[in-house]
Amino acid sequence: MNDGIVCHARLRNNDDCVAGAGQSVGGTHSTRMKFLKNTKLMVGSALLVTGLTLLGIWCFRTPSREITRAELDQFVQAKTLTDGRVRPTTYAGIYHLEAKHKLSGNSERVFVTTHLDEAQIKTLFDQSWAKVEIPDQSIGQWVMVLSNLVIVGVVIGVMVYQRNIGRGKNARVTERPTVSFNDVAGIEEAKGEVSEVVDFLRDPKKYERLGGRLPKGVLLVGPPGTGKTMLAKAIACEANAHFFSVHGSDFTEVFVGVGAKRVRQLFRQAARNKPAIIFIDEIDSVGKNRKHDTHGEHQQTINALLAAMDGFDSSQGIVVIAATNRPEDLDEALLRPGRFDRKVYVPYPDMKGRRAILQAHAAGKPITDTEKALDVIAQTTPGMSGADLANLLNEAAIFSALQNATQISQTDLEAARDKVHYGKERKSMVLNQREREMVAYHEAGHTIIHLQTPLLPPLYKVSIVPRGQALGATTLLPDEDQHLQSRQFLLEELLVLMGGRAAEKTFYGATTNGASGDLDVARKIARKMIHEWGMGEKLYYEPEQHDAEVEINCLLETADRRAHELIQTHKENTDKLAKALLERETLTKDEVLQLITPANVAVPASEALA
């Protein structure tokens, strides 16, 4: 049931809600980031050039060949060694010799590390080509100094890394959003609930005189895409407060204690920039119930969040706003009064809310007959979120642009709606003639039975154009949202769902898997009618599970049987409608009514199923 209003917004410039301080902070941050980026680029380029130079020197050097001790004695006796250097090693009696060996006009570098006694050393030193190199002790000292400096640098780097690892990127940026309450469409109830937060931040003394306290936390609960983040930004803008936006996953790290450090840092920054709004999106990822998660990092992070929310007074001008679509996963300690004092539910929009959202997002878009077009789209999009509706208008604009049109037509809007709801039209999908006929009779069966149901919303159009997983669709046009559904209303829904299957059975003598989606929806409705809504012969609990299943099957069998009877009664009209669908693929309600004959109208379904 969609009994709420949506929070969704259209952005615009709002000079009253933008502070110069926020702009200067953003400009300084941008300049610093640009400087760091240029410095990193220069350092990287220098390192790259140095590395390439060293690599070239190494590649083009003349390689040395290692010789044996026997070869050394042979070369010394033959006097074919020149330009030699003898260097003692750290081991007693072990020497390293490098020299140039000449042979037949060619030369090569050779080396050997071997043991030499005193006589051999004297003989070697008598040679004119041999020079003795004594290792410089200062080099060893420099090596030790440099190694110590490297170790100290590594330690300092690790300490700096540990200090900065808990610093979240978003936590360092403060901004004042430009989204005000005037930009938020279809959310009067939610705005009323949070307006006192705005008023308190603007004039706290008015409430303090009467002993009133501002709620420390506001929890926004609702499905994805309904505009919870927009609402939080509008609160910060209207209150002229700094806006600290973080995601729940920003507090989750591998290292224990990092998330807790980020929580403390976030609240310290908010305290230095009062008044402030701290917005935590998807708080269920950090505030998960501790009973089901014993991970040390998560435990420390949520404990730090609980302590931080207890550590400030609401009169200080700090409010925590969190958003989630899974409130059942949150820890009980987080939801108690004194932390998140208030819960604001942001549901899927009703028809009035959808119309307001479409109007907000339609600004600047040339739409043919705007009022009528948006009314139709608002009526035929139940269950869509504000994000879906914004995407719908964008898809319609894309369709129009692809056709080089100057305005967005009603056809473009409906094509975009069907794409968002069912998926893109599958033009490449080729059905054989028999399958195409079965789809047409299937959709004709739904339509014919729907025309016999007085409680359901009126028909809008029927189509056999494949989209996504659906080979066809029947679209309704409700005058208003249905918040309460009677037993007769639900029985009519079951009857219409069985219409496609009944038409297949009537015209082809068998059913296909094309009705699997209809059967799945019908089973869910029947199960809820018996188990959750108490619409069976008895109220069922766990011990009487078998009897409940019997009643569920009875509802489905009755709907299937009655649908088959209605198709038999209106077989001629069903055949006409199916043939028209095969010819034109899509028919509106008026075109359907022109095809069928009003004679022999069936008894209303509500009476037949009563």
CA 46 to chain centre: 40
Nearest-angstrom CA–CA distance, 598 and 602: 10
Set 193, 238, 443, 492: catalytic member:
443
Nearest-angstrom CA–CA distance, 440 and 584: 11
Closest CA to 423 of 415, 431, 411, 413: 415
Nearest-angstrom CA–CA distance, 378 and 484: 19
Spatial CB neighbours of 77, under 8 Å, sequence gap ≥ 6: none
Query: Does residue 81 contact residue 101 with C-beta atoms inside 8 Å?
Result: yes
3-class secondary structure, 101: strand
Side-chain half-sphere of 153: how many Cα atoms within 13 Å?
A: 6
Helices marked H in 180-220 — which ranges?
Answer: 188-202, 204-208
Query: How many other C-beta atoms can be found within 10 angstroms of the C-beta atom of residue 548?
Result: 19
Distances in Å between the alpha carbon of 45 and those of 51, 57, 316, 411, 609?
A: 10, 19, 50, 56, 81
Spatial CB neighbours of 399, under 8 Å, sequence gap ≥ 6: 408, 412, 415, 416
Nearest-angstrom CA–CA distance, 17 and 9: 16
Residue 278 phi/psi, 5-degree rounding, is: -100, 115
Nearest-angstrom CA–CA distance, 358 and 186: 10
Query: Does residue 466 contact residue 480 with C-beta atoms inside 8 Å?
Result: no
Closest CA to 410 of 368, 442, 452, 356: 368
Nearest-angstrom CA–CA distance, 351 and 383: 9
Query: How many other C-beta atoms can be found within 10 angstroms of the C-beta atom of residue 582?
Result: 16
Q: Is 443 a catalytic residue?
A: yes
As beta bridge partners, residue 4 has: 349
Nearest-angstrom CA–CA distance, 124 and 131: 9
**Which amino acid does the sequence have at 42?**
M
Closest CA to 583 of 382, 421, 433: 433
DSSP secondary structure of 385-428: -HHHHHHHHHHHHHHHHHTT-SSB-HHHHHHHHHHHHH-SB-TT
Angle, helices 228-238/188-202, rounded to nearest 10 degrees: 30
What is the widest separation between alpha-carbon atoms in the chain? 131
Residues belonging to the active site: 443
